[in-house]
Structure 1
């Protein structure tokens, strides 16, 4: 187990893949810096979610992993993780299930991001996720690819 403070980096794009990660508490984002200085959030791993599991089959990471909150993360050497999957078919099936759910979620996110209007993106997100918890709207803005002020304007419009 390793503890990471909010903003701390677990790994950077192009770092060699040496470990596999499972988030136990907190949230860790997979981010890719954009040429305009912004960030593209590819995925946010929350408790009991694997982080960058597709990296098992890569030589280097394809993005940065940054703790969005203070987080505790189980870290296992890549070779031990791969060996365990080879020895335990149930563990391998579990990983495939988890990855399939992640792919489905990513496809839904891509479809949401393809929508042009903030209102349409928000509707799509709410249809899939439901109402967020108190204080989590800023995370919704990031997930639907809009600025927090744009999202808050849309929420204010809906309250009227």
Structure 2
């Protein structure tokens, strides 16, 4: 089952794909075909920086969509690289554009986009916190520690070492509990 609003599109607009780690879904500059909903797995959207370094601009996880801007563009603006194997659904660009004539789809798409903007702003606010311990605490309060500590660190734009040190300090201060390996909760 696809999340709203994509569940409102005809099944003919959807193509299911099995993906493997290392697969390239699209490259920057390639003609856009549509957007994607990741059922399982993990995909990074990346750009090449001025010195040739890879910059991760988005981490798509199970149950999320990505490349939504491609619906309004002729070319992809980044690369999509599969990090963890899984399943995804590619949704045809023309079907999405045609669906905007349906007010229910248009409202649901707008709501979805607004929620993504809010989530992005929340993460940017947290990433702006200078002290690692405070940033980690803010991330936990926001519910961002929903996977591995390494993934959590990446979302917070911290090294995993700094994140583990901050978690240890928060546990020692009694602000966070560590009931089992890799599990942290507010005290």
TM over 0.5: yes
Aligned counterparts of 1:156 and 1:10: Cα–Cα separation in 2: 38
Q: Does 1:142 align with 2:150?
A: no
Listed one character per residue, the Cα deviations across residues 7-48 of structure 1 (whole Å, up to 9, x for unaligned) are 322112222212221112222222233345554333323333
Aligned counterparts of 1:19 and 1:130: Cα–Cα separation in 2: 28
Divergent runs of 4+, >6 A: none
Give the drift of 1:53. 0.8
1:50 to 39, 52, 65: 65
**Of the two, which has the highest radius of gyration?**
2
Where does 1:1-160 land on structure 2 (aligned, <5 Å)?
1-36=16-51, 38-86=53-101, 88-129=102-143, 131-133=145-147, 136-160=148-172
Structure 2 contact 22–81 (Cα < 8 Å) conserved: yes
Distance 1:138 1:104, change over 3 A: same
Higher helix share: 1
- Runs of at least 5 residues in structure 1 that lack an aligned partner in the other structure: none
TM-score (norm 1): 0.85
Higher strand share: 2
Over aligned residues, Cα RMSD in angstroms?
2.0
Aligned length, in residue pairs: 157
TM-score (norm 2): 0.74
Q: Which has the higher contact order (CA 8 A, sep 6+)?
A: 1
SS of equivalent residue, structure 2 residue 100: helix
Aligned counterparts of 2:45 and 2:52: Cα–Cα separation in 1: 16
